[in-house]
Structure 1
Amino acid sequence: MNLPKRNSEDGRCYWMTPDVREELQPLFDQCIQDAMDGRITRPDSLWPPVVVSSEGAPFEVHDLMMGWAKVQRAETLDAEKAIAFSENLRRLSRWGEIDYHLLGLLERELQEKYFVVTGREDDHPWNREYSLKPDIRAEEVPEPLLRFACYVAVSYKVYGLDFQYLDTNYLLGLVEKVRPDMVKKLKENGTGRLPLNLQKRKTEQFTASANDAFAIIRITAKDSTEECYGEVLNYLCELLSQEDFPHSYTVEFKGPEKRYLPITGLPKKGINQLCACAVQYPSLHPLVERYARLAMRQYERYTNLSDEQCALPGSFAVFALGMLEKKWRQLIWDYLDLCDDEHSRLQEKFLREYVKQFGFTSDTVPIFVRGVLSMQNMKYSKDYAAWMANAESLDALLEAKVHLSEIVPSGFSSDEDDDEDEEPTQETEASPEEVLQYAWETVCYVIWGKASAKSGQKVVETAPEELKERYRQIFIPVTENMEQRGGLL
């Protein structure tokens, strides 16, 4: 299909400006439909987030949500389609990119159409009182609209900032004035789509409950046996195999054995405890891996961790296996391929302990490099330079440089200031060679810090004589030709 030329300032997408609106409207509408059907993709990790339709037409997530929300009406809103549309856009960007327009839609179509408001006009909606308009009966408020309001309310609870539980209370308060049974059921049993034996489970080994509306899994282990941890992991795998269970969630685990993963700085949450206890038993390792692979989802996170300690679901299971032996490097690689700085930062703490335990080798260096590039601003440590200061490790790093284009993630950018409030810089237009060079400089900085500047001059000068040539080859620019690089690249 021949698409029009992209008209955004950075050339990444289409803007619905008046001069091209008529031409772009069919593409815009198709992208909205594709978002409902789950057929959109995100081409990069730059900001603001852009998604691409099945026909290859790119639009900003913010514009799609704004355009869709403006035309929604209480009387005709389809809850299932609205939830699917919102959830697919959230999954490929973040809740904070779409919530403003969803809240505005519900204020307009639910609150203003059906409720009388008391309180000062300058009060926040959280602090005002609402009651049904005298001429409106509860059954006249469309149920799909109320179901969608429940989805938005729960999403604020699951994905929003700490204070946004007030938005949850505001929206659920409106629904409760009309359908108190709907809110009660939501809080007690979730959406009702989960099988009963997954909503609640009790065995001789453990008790558990799962609320798919609020994305909370609660598990209490009665003992610390292999059988008990096996049953718990099987329960988690059953739960995550359910198509409708949220991909971002909280696991609240309690057990008698207070064991945690031997990684400095990891939060001592229940999922950490569960994984640390379970990997004591080799027979459970395949089950731990199965949980990890079911849990690992790009752009998702454990919702009970702070932004500073955010982690992709499955992180603790990957860390638990990864710290045991190098045979799990493929799992680690697959995990790092899904990480991004906004949803996962704990990989930095794991990578440090990983190379501390196994050293910089031909097996571990590619993983370390991939991990460095899976997040922004990984911290420099002088320990890395010390662990790298031997022929085997330096050769492994040079080999990784040879294959750097295979290690750098597809969404990696040379844009250091990936700030949603700033205009994209020229670096977002960097060539593939410039991106590789920036990636390599990032890796070198994490290992050698400021000494990596000026082609690593300080590092080379202070290196043992027998290692100088290896260090020199490491700091040669990636973009130089084969002859200049001594045939090493």
Structure 2
Amino acid sequence: MNLPKRNSEDGRYYLMTPDAREKLQPLFDRCIRDAIDGKITRPDSLYPPVVVSSEGAPFGVHYLAMDWAEAQRAETFNVEQAVAFSENLRRLSRWGEIDHYLLGVLERELQKKYFVVTGREDDHRWNREYSLKPGIRAEDVPEPLLRFACYVAVSYKVYGLDFQYLDTNYLLGLVEKVRPNMVKKLKENGTGRLPLNLQKRKKEHFTASANDAFAVIRISAKDCTEECYSEVLNYLCELLSQEDFPRSYAVEFKGPEKKYLSITGLPKKGINQLCACAVQYPSLQSLLERYARLAMRQYERYTNLDDEQCALPGSFAVFALGMLGQPWRQLVWDYLGLCDDEHSRLQEKFLREYVKQFGFTADTVPIFVRGVLSMQSMKYSKDYAAWMANAESLGALLDAKARLSEIVPSGFSSDDDDEDDEPTDETEAGPEEVLQYAWETVCYVIWGKASAKRGLKVVETAPEELKERYRQIFE
């Protein structure tokens, strides 16, 4: 299909400007339809986030959400489509890109159409009181809108900023005015789609509960035996085998054994504790891998970690197994292919400990390079240069350079997110340019500013017997 030239300033996507709207409208409508049907993809991790339709037409997430929201009406509102649209955009970008527009639909179509507001006009919506308009009965309020209000309220709780629990309270407060049981059931049992034996489970070695609406799994271990950790991991695998369970979630684990992974900088959360305890038992390691592979989903995250310590679900299980060495290399490799800066940053902590323990070898260097390229902000450390300063390690790095196209994660881009840079047309960067940028990124993480000018300073100060290897690395 012949598509028009992209007209955004950076050439990444289409803007629905007045002069281009007539030509772009069919493509735009198709992209919204594809967002509902789950047929959109994200071509890069740059900002602002862009998604591509099944026809290959790119549009900004911001504009899709805004136009979709403006078209919604209470009388014809389809909650299944609304949730699908919202979830697919959230998954490929982030909640903060779309929440304003979803909330706007509910303010306009739910609050303003059906409720009277009391309180000072300059008060925030959180601090005002709401009651049904005269003549409107509770059953007159469309249930699809109320269900969508519950979805948005829960999403604020799961994905929003700390203070946005106030938006959760505001929306659930509206729903409670007309369907109090809907909110009660949501808080107690989640959506109701989970089997009862997964919503609540009580066994000899642990008790657990799972709320799929609020995406929270709570587990309390009664002992620190192999049987206990086996039962807990099997329970997590059962949960994640449920198609409808959220892929971003919190695991709140408590147990008597206060053990954590020996990786500096990892948050001491319950999931860290669970994986550190379970990995001690060789018979549970394949079960840990099963949990990791069920949990690992691109653009998802553990929701009870701070933004600066965000991590892909399954991260701690991967780290626990990865630190055992070569048998788990493929799992680490696959994991790093799914990571991205916006949803996962803890891989940097793991990579440092990984090469510190095993050194830069033919086995570890490709993992390290792939990990560096799984994020655009990995920090330089002088330790890397020291660990690399031997013939074996430099040879492994040269081998990785020769196979770089096989190592680079699929989402890696030759552009970065530096707002001070002039925007560039991503489509102009060819495969060779992307690989060159990737290699320069790797060299910077290892040698820092000394990697500039083809590593001139590094080559000049290298031992004579290693100079040629260094030249080949930087050429």
Match of 1:471 in 2: 470
Question: Which moved further from structure 2: 194-203 or 449-458?
Answer: 449-458
What are the within-5 Å matches in structure 2 for residues 139-288 of structure 1? 139-288=139-288
Amino acid at match of 2:144: P
Query: Does the 8 A contact of 1:8 with 1:14 survive in 2?
Result: yes
Instruction: Give the Cα–Cα distance (whole angstroms) in 2 for the partners of residues 342 and 21 of structure 1.
Output: 31
Tell me the number of residue pairs that the alignment of Structure 1 and Structure 2 aligns: 475
SS in 2 for 1:258: coil
Q: For residues 144-191 of structure 1, give each alpha carbon's deviation from its aligned partner in whole angstroms, at most 9, with x where no partner exists.
A: 100000000100110011111111111111111111111111111101
Shift in alpha-carbon separation, 1:345–1:72, aligned structure 2, 3 A: same
Query: Does the 8 A contact of 1:138 with 1:179 survive in 2?
Result: yes
**Percent identical:** 87
Query: Does the 8 A contact of 2:51 with 2:59 survive in 1?
Result: yes
What are the within-5 Å matches in structure 2 for residues 403-422 of structure 1? 403-419=403-419
Match of 1:59 in 2: 59
Match of 1:486 in 2: none
Shift in alpha-carbon separation, 1:27–1:416, aligned structure 2, 3 A: closer
Match of 1:448 in 2: 447
Q: CA deviation at 1:42?
A: 1.1
What are the within-5 Å matches in structure 2 for residues 302-341 of structure 1? 302-341=302-341
Larger RCO: 1 or 2 (CA < 8 Å, sep 6+): 2
SS in 2 for 1:131: strand
Q: CA deviation at 1:418?
A: 4.9
SS in 1 for 2:253: strand
Q: CA deviation at 1:435?
A: 2.2
Q: CA deviation at 1:430?
A: 3.1
Instruction: Give the Cα–Cα distance (whole angstroms) in 1 for the partners of residues 25 and 467 of structure 2.
Output: 61
Give the unaligned 5+ runs of structure 2: none
SS in 2 for 1:248: coil
Q: For residues 21-53 of structure 1, give each alpha carbon's deviation from its aligned partner in whole angstroms, at most 9, with x where no partner exists.
A: 233222222211111111111112122111112
Amino acid at match of 2:390: N
Query: Does the 8 A contact of 2:200 with 2:210 survive in 1?
Result: yes
Amino acid at match of 1:85: F
Question: Taking structure 2 as the reference length, what is the TM-score of the superposition?
Answer: 0.97
Match of 1:437 in 2: 436
Query: Does the 8 A contact of 1:46 with 1:418 survive in 2?
Result: no
SS in 1 for 2:59: strand
SS in 2 for 1:66: helix
Match of 1:43 in 2: 43
Instruction: Give the Cα–Cα distance (whole angstroms) in 1 for the partners of residues 283 and 26 of structure 2.
Output: 55
Q: For residues 305-337 of structure 1, give each alpha carbon's deviation from its aligned partner in whole angstroms, at most 9, with x where no partner exists.
A: 001100000000000000012111111111010
Instruction: Give the Cα–Cα distance (whole angstroms) in 2 for the partners of residues 169 and 241 of structure 1.
Output: 31
Instruction: Give the Cα–Cα distance (whole angstroms) in 1 for the partners of residues 40 and 230 of structure 2.
Output: 37
Q: CA deviation at 1:448?
A: 1.2
Q: CA deviation at 1:423?
A: 6.9
Match of 1:100 in 2: 100
SS in 1 for 2:158: helix
SS in 1 for 2:41: coil
Amino acid at match of 2:103: L
What are the within-5 Å matches in structure 2 for residues 321-400 of structure 1? 321-400=321-400
Q: CA deviation at 1:361?
A: 0.6
Amino acid at match of 1:473: Q
Query: Does the 8 A contact of 2:46 with 2:417 survive in 1?
Result: no
Amino acid at match of 2:77: L
1:25 and 2:28 matched: no
Instruction: Give the Cα–Cα distance (whole angstroms) in 2 for the partners of residues 241 and 422 of structure 1.
Output: 43
Query: Does the 8 A contact of 2:11 with 2:425 survive in 1?
Result: no
Match of 1:458 in 2: 457
Query: Does the 8 A contact of 1:413 with 1:428 survive in 2?
Result: no
Instruction: Give the Cα–Cα distance (whole angstroms) in 2 for the partners of residues 428 and 166 of structure 1.
Output: 42
Match of 1:300 in 2: 300
Q: RMSD across aligned C-alpha pairs, in angstroms? A: 1.5
Q: CA deviation at 1:410?
A: 2.6
SS in 1 for 2:473: helix
Q: CA deviation at 1:460?
A: 1.2
Shift in alpha-carbon separation, 1:39–1:253, aligned structure 2, 3 A: same
Shift in alpha-carbon separation, 1:4–1:458, aligned structure 2, 3 A: closer
Q: CA deviation at 1:429?
A: 4.0
Instruction: Give the Cα–Cα distance (whole angstroms) in 2 for the partners of residues 219 and 417 of structure 1.
Output: 38
SS in 2 for 1:341: coil
Amino acid at match of 1:469: E
Instruction: Give the Cα–Cα distance (whole angstroms) in 2 for the partners of residues 325 and 404 of structure 1.
Output: 22
Query: Does the 8 A contact of 2:34 with 2:53 survive in 1?
Result: yes
Question: Taking structure 1 as the reference length, what is the TM-score of the superposition?
Answer: 0.95
Query: Does the 8 A contact of 1:302 with 1:311 survive in 2?
Result: yes
Match of 1:479 in 2: none
Query: Does the 8 A contact of 1:47 with 1:418 survive in 2?
Result: no
SS in 2 for 1:117: strand
Instruction: Give the Cα–Cα distance (whole angstroms) in 2 for the partners of residues 184 and 462 of structure 1.
Output: 69
Query: Does the 8 A contact of 1:415 with 1:428 survive in 2?
Result: no
Instruction: Give the Cα–Cα distance (whole angstroms) in 1 for the partners of residues 231 and 385 of structure 2.
Output: 43
